[in-house]
């Protein structure tokens, strides 16, 4: 049984480097085109495994070369719960500008078919930490949250969406960036605690803030780095957070330490291009943190 179970998406990323992200109606020329493995779920599963946790991935792939590319990239992750479905593997078009900012469009395809099978439900029920995002059907996220009722359910509410109390009622820890936080609870970050018992809001180059009901907020600064590509920074953060919580505990003190480690890992990931290729290994994270 894996300590961390990630229930989420897997995509082939088509990355287009541009000077400037096009405005509506505008056409721009990219300086190249690369094809690589990604998707929030896949990125987070790899980040968790590289950070040292036994990690299983519940996902849906097509029977195509995109699916094969992802299986290869997910080395080190238990893929016995990955479903092959009758749809193409999900695809993301990622436009990255000269400052490393990105704009992303996702075709969910196979990800839209992901269901929580009885085997996946059992793995979720037995995990220490269950981690999910919103690139898969809401019903599947909800089913995972319910199945994780005796464990610790971490929801990375990305991409941004308004969420029901029915789902948030099962969330132990919400992880969001500022845009996603606003979609869940408005511009006042403390309002997140009206909806979930604890939340981590990532703040890009400003690091992250931890909000816990009945406690003071804790700010964790980012590491200062040269930004190359922020793709998968949030995913690295979530995967490393889950792996570190699984190795320690979910007490306030261990949560703070896990957020520190996740922040270092995410800062390292923005120094390297791509999604999965930019996810650091535990040794690199801990060398930087020391």
Residues identified as active-site:
235
Query: How many binding residues for ligand ADP (CB under 6 A)?
Result: 19
Q: Please, which residue, 39 or 67, has the CB nearer to ligand ADP?
A: 39
Stretch that binds ligand ADP, among 63-71, 161-169, 187-195, 218-226 (CB under 6 A): 218-226
Q: Which tokens is 163 given?
A: 């969420």
Q: Which of 14, 30, 160, 227 binds ligand ADP (CB under 6 A)?
A: 227
Which of Na ion, ligand ADP, none does 237 bind, CB closer than 5 to 8 A by kind?
ligand ADP
Q: Report if residue 225 touches ligand ADP, rule: CB under 6 A.
A: yes
Tell the smallest beta-carbon distance from residue 229 to ligand ADP (Å).
10
Q: SS in 3 state form for 129-151? A: EEEECCCCCHHHHHHHHHHCCCC
Q: Does the N-terminal peptide bond of residue 221 adopt cis geometry, omega within 30 degrees of 0?
A: no
Q: Is 70 in the site for ligand ADP (CB under 6 A)?
A: no
Find the Cα–Cα–Cα–Cα dihedral 260, 263, 265, 267, rounded to 10°.
-140
Q: Is 267 in the site for ligand ADP (CB under 6 A)?
A: yes
107 lines the binding site for ligand ADP (CB under 6 A): no
Cα 109 to Cα 61, 86, 160, 192, 211, distances in angstroms: 9, 9, 19, 31, 35
Only one residue has tokens 């436009």, namely 95
Closest separation between CB of residue 180 and Na ion, Å? Answer: 11
Q: Any contact of residue 270 with ligand ADP (CB under 6 A)?
A: yes
- B/e letters for 17-40, b = 16+ CB within 10 Å, e = fewer, are bbeebeeeeeeeeeeeeeebbbbb
**Across-strand partners of 176?**
201
CA neighbor of 53 nearest in space, from 31, 77, 30, 74: 77
Q: Please, what is the minimum distance in Å from the beta carbon of residue 270 to ligand ADP?
A: 5
* 233 forms part of the interface with Na ion (CB under 5 A): yes
222, interface contact from ligand ADP, Na ion, none, CB < 5-8 Å by kind: ligand ADP
Tell me which H or E stretch contains 57.
strand 55-62
Nearer to ligand ADP, 90 or 207 (CB): 207
**Which residues here bind ligand ADP, judged by CB under 6 A?**
177, 202-205, 207-208, 222-223, 225, 227, 230, 233-234, 237, 263, 266-267, 270
**Which residues here bind Na ion, judged by CB under 5 A?**
230, 233-234
């Amino acid at each position: 049984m894996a300590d961390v179970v990630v229930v989420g998406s897997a995509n082939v990323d088509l990355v287009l480097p541009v000077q400037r992200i096009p405005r509506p109606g505008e056409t721009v020329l990219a300086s190249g085109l690369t094809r690589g493995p990604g998707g929030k779920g896949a990125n987070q599963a790899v980040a968790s495994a590289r950070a040292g946790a036994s990690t299983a991935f519940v996902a849906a792939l097509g029977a195509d070369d995109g699916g094969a590319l992802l299986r290869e990239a997910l080395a080190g992750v238990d893929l016995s719960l990955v479903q092959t479905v009758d749809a193409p593997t999900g695809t993301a078009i990622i436009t990255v500008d000269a400052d490393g900012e990105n704009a992303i469009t996702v075709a969910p395809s196979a990800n839209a078919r992901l269901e929580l099978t009885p085997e996946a439900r059992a793995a979720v029920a037995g995990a220490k930490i269950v981690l999910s995002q919103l690139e898969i059907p809401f019903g599947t996220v909800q089913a995972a949250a319910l199945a994780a009722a005796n464990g610790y359910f971490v929801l990375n509410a990305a991409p941004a969406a308004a969420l029901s109390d029915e789902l948030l009622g099962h969330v132990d820890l919400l992880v969001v960036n500022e845009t996603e936080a606003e979609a869940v609870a408005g511009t006042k970050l403390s309002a997140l605690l009206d909806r979930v018992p604890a939340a981590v809001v990532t703040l890009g180059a400003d690091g992250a803030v931890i909000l816990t009901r009945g406690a003071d907020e804790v700010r964790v600064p980012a590491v200062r780095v040269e930004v190359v590509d922020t793709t998968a920074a949030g995913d690295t953060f979530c995967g490393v957070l889950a792996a570190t919580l699984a190795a320690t505990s979910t007490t306030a003190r261990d949560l703070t330490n896990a957020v520190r480690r996740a922040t270092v890992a995410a800062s390292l990931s923005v120094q390297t291009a791509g999604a999965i290729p930019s996810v650091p290994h535990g040794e690199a994270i801990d060398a930087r943190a020391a």
